[in-house]
Structure 1
Amino acid sequence: MGNKDKFNLFSFTGKMKILHLSWFAFFITFMVWFNLAPFLQSVKESLGLTTAEIKTLLILNVAFTIPARVVIGMLTDKYGPRIVYSALLAICSIPCFAFALSETFIQAAISRFALGFIGAGFVVGIRLVSEWFPHNELGTAEGIYGGWGNFGSAAAAFTLPTVAVMLGGEDGWRYAMAITGVMSLLFSFVFYANVTDTPKGSTYFRPKNLGAMEVTSTGDFFLLLLMKIPMYGALALLAWKLSPTGIAMLSDTIVNSIYIGLSVLYLYEVWQTWKLNKSIFSEPVPEIHQYKFKQVVVLNILYFATFGSELAVISMLPLFFSETFELTPVMAGMVASAYAFMNLMSRPGGGWLSDKFGRKPTLLILTAGLAVGYFFMGQVNSEWPLWLAVVVAMACSFFVQSGEGAVFATVPLIKRRMTGQIAGMTGAYGNVGAVCYLTVLSLVDYSTFFLVIAGTAVLGFITLLFMEEPSGQIAEVNDDGSVTLIDVANN
């Protein structure tokens, strides 16, 4: 078995090869997904857009990722990470090229909305890495996958403007974006040729049903239906932002039909979930196959507060620094990028701490730090020395990103065959958080915005008290009916 190899970052064989190919695939998806951020001004001038239209493109960029993460999670469990990741990288190069060729706001808006789909790539690697690494290395491996891949957004911010200048002219941004599309297309072939879903001799466990999530008790059934609502709520909130009340991109008729569509979809999901799970109302699930959905609920709420706040803060931090301390845009961008740089170490750090000291104690400490960090961010004003504000932002970012690492150190330990679905839901909650926080930001001042995030972190801390430390083993059934037990903790 390849799993017995040492954990050596400089190795490119066995499980380490899978880890390196996975984080690089994720890195490319993030480069493509955030290739707009460094070119907001160029795109605005080039296409003659208003400030409201540019802000709309930023919201559209994260909108589609909410349903996409759920769908991609299900497809990954069903068809395996190798095919799903390769297809995602290849298919998403199309809207990337379409955006680079856009001439009008509508073309740009449609291709940007479609590009939100690439933000779902993250979920695929979570399942793939969990197949290759044993539980005592899983947090570290998932942390490296998440942290180094996440760095793609910072890499886009640093390198793409230079590429655009080198290729020259007012179309420089188009070439730079197209290059990320080419990278995505080419790497889809590399990934497909070099990856297998599981180590040799291991089984890839698939869920019973593609359309809905399994639960194993009646209480969990209602809890699942409740937890689906915020995902639809966030999409409704986006529609409201685009309505005449917001920035008037869509007419009232279209927005109302979106609301109706979302309600119908939700009812369809309720029906699918009932079809799959109705047997639990008549006969209890054998204990060996049970899992507690409340574990997923806690992780969803924590990812809402961690990744949700990260996406929102990365979008507003340059502006916050330039307005509070009267910095030039370039200087403010440099200061704000310190936040993204922390990802390289913090997210693997959070995973490593989880492997070492247990999932729940690590999450409790990091969530408490998160609340305190954002509380202090809420106190920052122009009388502070700049260096102190940067130190507070970096410290806060350490807790945010280590928290993300610790959340995804726990996700694969709940139910192996549903890891994609669970990661999809938890990942989607991160985007729901981003939409909610960005909406709050459009209504209040910076200080209140940071205090609202601190408040949700406190809420996360309280729900965390109900989580149970993963222990023992997960049971999965092989095709021939025999049961495989997968260790989730050193007992």
Structure 2
Amino acid sequence: MSSFARNNGQLNLLDFKAPAIRTLHTTWFAFFMTFVLWFAHAPFKGALVKTFSMTDAQWKALLILNVALTIPARIVIGILVDKFGPRITFSLLLMISGVLCTFFALSRSFEMLALTRFLMGFAGAGFVIGIRLVGEWFPARQVGLAEGIYGGWGNFGSAAAAIVLPTVALIYGGEEGWRYAFMSAGAFAFLYGIFFYRVIRNTPKGATYFKPKKSGGLEVSTPRDFVFLLVMNLPMFGALAALAWKLSPAGVKLLPYAAVNAIYGVLFVLFLVQAWQIYRVNAEMLKAGGVPEFQRYPFKQVAILNINYLITFGSELAVVSMLPGFFADTFGLSPIKAGLISAGFATITVAARPGGGWISDKFGRRKTMLVVLAGLAIGYLLISRIDSTWPLALAVAATIGCGLFVHMGTGAVFAMVPLIQRRMTGQIAGMTGAYGNVGGVIFLTIYSFVSTPTFFMVIAASSVLGLVASCFLSEPKGHISEVAEDGSVQLIEVA
């Protein structure tokens, strides 16, 4: 038994002598820092609007730009982490993000502010790297809980940014305090990137880090899966087109129609390029009619997890954005009180996401997914009925209860991602993570056209669709096979 698998497979998070536990803590904090940088602007709306004389449309455009690059970035980062390893990829991402955060702080025009915030979308892709790294260090019986801790604790970086950075700005004082807060966060991330590179290993001692045969696109096992993969790429480009539309005169009026049409053209070309890369990677497989049976994996697993993360994390992104306003409007609360009450929906991730992973490890990943999505459908249907006649305490309890299933669902998704195909875990995690952002775009776009109760019912209906899709999930069993550079076949336990 390895040094990190003790007490019948339970994790002792205080056993810092165990290399895997040290790796887990070092990695979730790296993810935490990327989320601090990614959401650092959120608590400084007043200061930024005042400094740059921004209109409401410009502020909304800044929020859109902050998430626009994250969808393709997660795909790119997934490719890089599989090719070069988590150690160097995460280190460079932290250092580059720290530099970009500093440039954001030094911006003297809205254009510079917008450009750096757009580029900061790459920081939101850091999540993908740790999924592969944690998957390398923990066995199947522990990986769900370990990934849940990584995701849940790291995800808290967005809330920490709202708490810590305004305090840092207040300590510096003056109208420029926000700039020094950003630069401090950027400097810390840069130094932590160096620290991460010095202390992290890609795998436990003696283990092999498997890499894809070719880079640039996800490998699949059959011609049918090849077509399936191409179809599954369409929603990601559709979400980017929706974000471009939001910047058009029909949305926040930041870009003219000519520029938006040009973006549509670029997205179409990028889709063709991506399709070609996927073909190039899978050309030999297509000619042979498939890969050897022992190396195959069912792409349907990836597709269903993509859909489920679109529903779980996508709805989380959307609901967190609108929930404070919903409580303020429904119950006549002040913005501060509504924000504090709504925070419970997001902060519960610290416990609920690891809980979803732990339940998956203990009771089965497919079964957990089915239960969570059923709870999600019921939860969103329930809060769609909330109105001013409800007792506030009951409304808050229903919302937090729904949030519990949302975050458990995100943990359940990534309890299965590392068990599909080891050498491509980064790319699979990247695609699944990107689908989470796609979900946020889809649900927020729907919210802009419908009433709040209808918005919640749409998410409930999508949860039912995810539940049906999850009936076709296969519980990981036995082993997956990987071929080492010397040609030997190694088996990795996934059950």
Normalised by the length of structure 1, the TM-score is 0.97
Q: Does 1:26 align with 2:26?
A: no
Alignment partner, residue 333 of structure 1: 339
Alignment partner, residue 382 of structure 2: 376
Per the TM alignment, residue 103 of structure 1 is displaced from its structure 2 partner at its CA by: 2.6
Distance 1:315 1:426 in 2: 21
Deviations 1:266-297 (A, max 9, x none): 11111121122123333232110000000000
Alignment partner, residue 293 of structure 2: 287
Distance 1:182 1:449 in 2: 40
Distance 2:42 2:188 in 1: 18
Distance 1:217 1:241 in 2: 38
Per the TM alignment, residue 307 of structure 1 is displaced from its structure 2 partner at its CA by: 0.6
Q: Does 1:36 align with 2:35?
A: no
Alignment partner, residue 409 of structure 1: 415
Distance 1:76 1:409 in 2: 19
Letter aligned with residue 71 of structure 1:
V
Superposition map of 1:110-125 within 5 A? 110-125=115-130
Contact 1:304 1:432 in 2 (8 A): yes
Superposition map of 1:114-263 within 5 A? 114-263=119-268
Q: Does 1:367 align with 2:373?
A: yes
Q: Does 1:46 align with 2:51?
A: yes
Q: Does 1:428 align with 2:428?
A: no
Q: Does 1:468 align with 2:474?
A: yes
Superposition map of 1:306-325 within 5 A? 306-325=312-331
Letter aligned with residue 161 of structure 1:
P
Distance 2:245 2:204 in 1: 47
Per the TM alignment, residue 52 of structure 1 is displaced from its structure 2 partner at its CA by: 1.4
Among 304, 315, 320, the residue aligned to 2:310: 304
For residue 223 of structure 1, give the secondary structure of its aligned residue in structure 2. helix
For residue 73 of structure 1, give the secondary structure of its aligned residue in structure 2. helix
Distance 1:433 1:451 in 2: 15
Q: Which runs of 5+ in 2 are unaligned?
A: none
Distance 1:388 1:334 in 2: 16
Could you say if the C-alpha distance between residues 104 and 442 of structure 1 is closer, same or farther in structure 2, counting changes exceeding 3 Å? farther
Deviations 1:18-50 (A, max 9, x none): 000000000111111111111112211221111
Bigger Cα displacement from structure 2, 112-121 vs 5-14: 5-14
Distance 2:344 2:394 in 1: 13
Q: Does 1:353 align with 2:390?
A: no
Contact 2:381 2:456 in 1 (8 A): yes
Among 7, 12, 30, the residue aligned to 1:8: 12
Superposition map of 1:389-404 within 5 A? 389-404=395-410
Among 386, 389, 392, the residue aligned to 1:386: 392
Among 437, 443, 464, the residue aligned to 2:443: 437
Letter aligned with residue 124 of structure 1:
I
Superposition map of 1:449-468 within 5 A? 449-468=455-474
Could you say if the C-alpha distance between residues 2 and 199 of structure 1 is closer, same or farther in structure 2, counting changes exceeding 3 Å? farther
Distance 1:330 1:167 in 2: 24
Distance 1:17 1:107 in 2: 39
Letter aligned with residue 447 of structure 2:
L
Alignment partner, residue 482 of structure 1: 488
Bigger Cα displacement from structure 2, 90-99 vs 61-70: 90-99
Distance 1:390 1:20 in 2: 32
Per the TM alignment, residue 4 of structure 1 is displaced from its structure 2 partner at its CA by: 4.1
Bigger Cα displacement from structure 2, 302-311 vs 170-179: 170-179
Per the TM alignment, residue 141 of structure 1 is displaced from its structure 2 partner at its CA by: 0.2
Per the TM alignment, residue 77 of structure 1 is displaced from its structure 2 partner at its CA by: 0.3
Distance 2:296 2:107 in 1: 50
Letter aligned with residue 372 of structure 1:
I
Distance 2:468 2:108 in 1: 49
Per the TM alignment, residue 445 of structure 1 is displaced from its structure 2 partner at its CA by: 2.1
Q: Does 1:90 align with 2:95?
A: yes
Distance 1:130 1:57 in 2: 34
Letter aligned with residue 84 of structure 1:
T
Equivalent pairs: percent with the same residue? 55
For residue 482 of structure 2, give the secondary structure of its aligned residue in structure 1. strand
Distance 2:398 2:33 in 1: 30
Letter aligned with residue 238 of structure 2:
G
Contact 2:375 2:405 in 1 (8 A): yes
Per the TM alignment, residue 170 of structure 1 is displaced from its structure 2 partner at its CA by: 2.0
Per the TM alignment, residue 175 of structure 1 is displaced from its structure 2 partner at its CA by: 2.0
Distance 2:57 2:163 in 1: 25
Contact 1:3 1:134 in 2 (8 A): no
Contact 2:4 2:21 in 1 (8 A): no
For residue 319 of structure 2, give the secondary structure of its aligned residue in structure 1. helix
Alignment partner, residue 66 of structure 1: 71
Letter aligned with residue 428 of structure 2:
I
For residue 92 of structure 1, give the secondary structure of its aligned residue in structure 2. helix
Contact 2:57 2:254 in 1 (8 A): no
For residue 35 of structure 1, give the secondary structure of its aligned residue in structure 2. coil
Per the TM alignment, residue 147 of structure 1 is displaced from its structure 2 partner at its CA by: 0.3
Distance 2:356 2:398 in 1: 19
Contact 1:27 1:149 in 2 (8 A): yes
Letter aligned with residue 477 of structure 2:
S
Contact 2:355 2:408 in 1 (8 A): yes
Q: Does 1:273 align with 2:256?
A: no
Deviations 1:295-344 (A, max 9, x none): 00000000000111111111222222122112112111211111122011
